[in-house]
Amino acid sequence: MVEELVAAVGAAHVVAGDDPSVADLCADEALGVPAGKPAWVVWPADRDEVAAVVRAARAAGMSVTARGAGTGLSGAATPDDGAVLVSFARMDRVLEVDPVEAVAVVQPGVPLTVLDAAAREHGLTYPVHPGEQSASLGGTVATNAGGMRAVRYGVTRSHVLGLEAVLADGSVVRTGGRLAKISSGYDLTQLLVGSEGTLALVTEVIVRLHPHLPARRTVLAPFPSADAVTAAVGRVLAAGLAPTICEYLDGPTMRAVCAAADLSLGLPEDLVDADHLLVELAGRRQERVDEDAEELADVLGTLGAADVFDLPAGSARRLVEAREGAFWAVKAAGADEIVDLVVPRSAMAAFLARARAAGDAHGARVLGCGHAGDGNVHLAVFQPDPERLGATLHDVFAAGIALGGAVSGEHGVGRAKAHALETFGDPAALEAVRRIRAALDPEGVLNPGCAVR
């Protein structure tokens, strides 16, 4: 086998899976997914090398797991034991930014920071901010990553216009293009986005960019309850204010986030433990954003906000960055699992209440924050006992599903939530997914332990 891999990518780019130098590559950031034991780790340089690796693995009866930056939270980039782990670290170039079409053509190993910086040189931005900007574009395509700005711009799915990808048989498929829209048969682009390396290994991505909006205002509104936050979110969106950020943080999460960032917002002490709504407005012209911020403050005030704090630009940026890094704060605090359920946005408060009740029933502490505009709730669950943790998670998932939700809003299924999806997903939909997977990868080459099996 190693001969074929060396032939595919060169001896300098093949390392045995048990080599200590690759230990960090054998897991992603999912809290509950142990590191895998790949047979080999390879670093292809281009599409043809990726295809050669897939063909070699398939011929040898080995599986293939793709890995970007490894910042995923569901274990989709954690290799199966005995797999060939394909790192896209060498395929890290922004091939082109086309300001006329407002698209970029990008290799999968490009970090989001690099893509956004390249876009900004042309007055454009790639607005998908899943919270960890060192994430690779390929990883975000695989998981259909979202993040704070999805409330205005949509998730990764909304931005992917075309793909080049290697299928399980080593063939290369090209989908979409630099095309604003398309209706030319099944949308394979959209099928591959979010398929977590189980249908194809993406080797090139065409993404849509947006004009950068220079004017900004950020407000923080403490509310007496999550119910009040939820109600306010609906009104802010219905008003057409089109926020770029619309986040919920409960009191403990706000404390944890501010502590992690060493940030003092100067809130009165009795308001720190409130349920917080953080809203960012952005636009082309500062005077309009300022006017909208006043309208926003009026709306929030009439809906029960204890106060509406206009955050100075520096504090706003640090708070947003700290909120984006909330995962690291709760990880540092010893969280045992992160939940990423999505529910109808008006059900967020009800879901939080039921999730906390589930925690109480099993002795687990449950902290919440989330993308309130999207109904995408991130819960940190503290319960070190595996059995009680499992019971808590089951009840939390059941509560979200009962409210019309789905097991993951933006982290993906991966290995961490495969069981939850099998338990709570629509049976006919799961069967359809299994058939599609078997049709494109009958031998189970691509990430077999991941997602719907």
Cα 199 to chain centroid distance, Å, stands at: 19
The answer to whether the Cα torsion of 416, 422, 424, 429 is positive or negative is positive
CA separation for the pair 3, 312 (Å, rounded): 59
As a dihedral over the C-alpha atoms of residue 104, residue 107, residue 109, residue 110, rounded to 10 degrees, the angle is -20
Least distance (Å) between residue 267 CB and a copy of itself: 29
- Any contact of residue 453 with a copy of itself (CB under 8 A)? no
Least distance (Å) between residue 269 CB and a copy of itself: 33
- Any contact of residue 294 with a copy of itself (CB under 8 A)? no
In 3D space, the residue among 47, 57, 51, 59 whose CA is nearest the CA of residue 80 turns out to be 57
Stretch that binds a copy of itself, among 113-121, 305-313, 384-392, 418-426 (CB under 8 A): 418-426
- Any contact of residue 426 with a copy of itself (CB under 8 A)? yes
Of 174 and 331, CB closest to a copy of itself = 174
The encoded tokens of residue 39 equal: 């047979």
Stretch that binds a copy of itself, among 21-29, 40-48, 83-91, 138-146 (CB under 8 A): 138-146
- Any contact of residue 392 with a copy of itself (CB under 8 A)? no
In 3D space, the residue among 410, 344, 339, 330 whose CA is nearest the CA of residue 378 turns out to be 339
Stretch that binds a copy of itself, among 10-18, 104-112, 150-158, 309-317 (CB under 8 A): 150-158
Residue 16: how many CA atoms within 13 Å on its side-chain side?
Answer: 3
- Any contact of residue 302 with a copy of itself (CB under 8 A)? no
Of 221 and 433, CB closest to a copy of itself = 433
| Contact (CB, 8 A) for 414 and 451 | yes
- Any contact of residue 342 with a copy of itself (CB under 8 A)? yes
Q: Which of 53, 119, 199, 358 binds a copy of itself (CB under 8 A)?
A: 199
- Any contact of residue 18 with a copy of itself (CB under 8 A)? no
- Any contact of residue 425 with a copy of itself (CB under 8 A)? yes
Least distance (Å) between residue 64 CB and a copy of itself: 17
Phi, psi (deg, nearest 5) at residue 97 = -115, 120
The answer to whether the Cα torsion of 334, 146, 110, 200 is positive or negative is positive
Stretch that binds a copy of itself, among 18-26, 100-108, 312-320, 331-339 (CB under 8 A): 100-108
In 3D space, the residue among 145, 142, 25, 20 whose CA is nearest the CA of residue 83 turns out to be 25
List the interface residues with a copy of itself, window 227-256 (CB under 8 A). 234, 237-240
- DSSP codes joined into one string, 343-396: --GGGHHHHHHHHHHHHHHTT-EEEEEEEGGGTEEEEEEE---HHHHHHHHHHH
Q: How many residues are recorded in the chain?
A: 453
- Any contact of residue 284 with a copy of itself (CB under 8 A)? yes
List the interface residues with a copy of itself, window 369-388 (CB under 8 A). 373-376
Of 11 and 432, CB closest to a copy of itself = 432
Q: Which of 61, 211, 268, 301 binds a copy of itself (CB under 8 A)?
A: 211
CA separation for the pair 108, 137 (Å, rounded): 5
Instruction: Provide the pairing of β-strand 84-87 with 40-42.
Output: parallel
- Any contact of residue 158 with a copy of itself (CB under 8 A)? yes
| Contact (CB, 8 A) for 93 and 73 | no
Site string for a copy of itself, 164-183 (x = CB under 8 A): ---x---xxxxxxxxxxxxx
Least distance (Å) between residue 93 CB and a copy of itself: 20
The encoded tokens of residue 29 equal: 């950031």
Of 315 and 376, CB closest to a copy of itself = 376
Least distance (Å) between residue 131 CB and a copy of itself: 14
| Contact (CB, 8 A) for 82 and 38 | yes
CA separation for the pair 35, 46 (Å, rounded): 26
Of 213 and 263, CB closest to a copy of itself = 213
Of 23 and 438, CB closest to a copy of itself = 438
Q: Measuring CA to CA, how many Å separate 181 from each of 144, 177, 296?
A: 19, 9, 34
Of 49 and 410, CB closest to a copy of itself = 410
Q: Which of 33, 42, 102, 311 binds a copy of itself (CB under 8 A)?
A: 102
In 3D space, the residue among 279, 273, 267, 283 whose CA is nearest the CA of residue 235 turns out to be 279
- Any contact of residue 184 with a copy of itself (CB under 8 A)? yes
- Any contact of residue 121 with a copy of itself (CB under 8 A)? no
Least distance (Å) between residue 360 CB and a copy of itself: 26
Of 38 and 70, CB closest to a copy of itself = 70
Count of residues that interact with a copy of itself, criterion CB under 8 A: 87
Of 41 and 406, CB closest to a copy of itself = 406
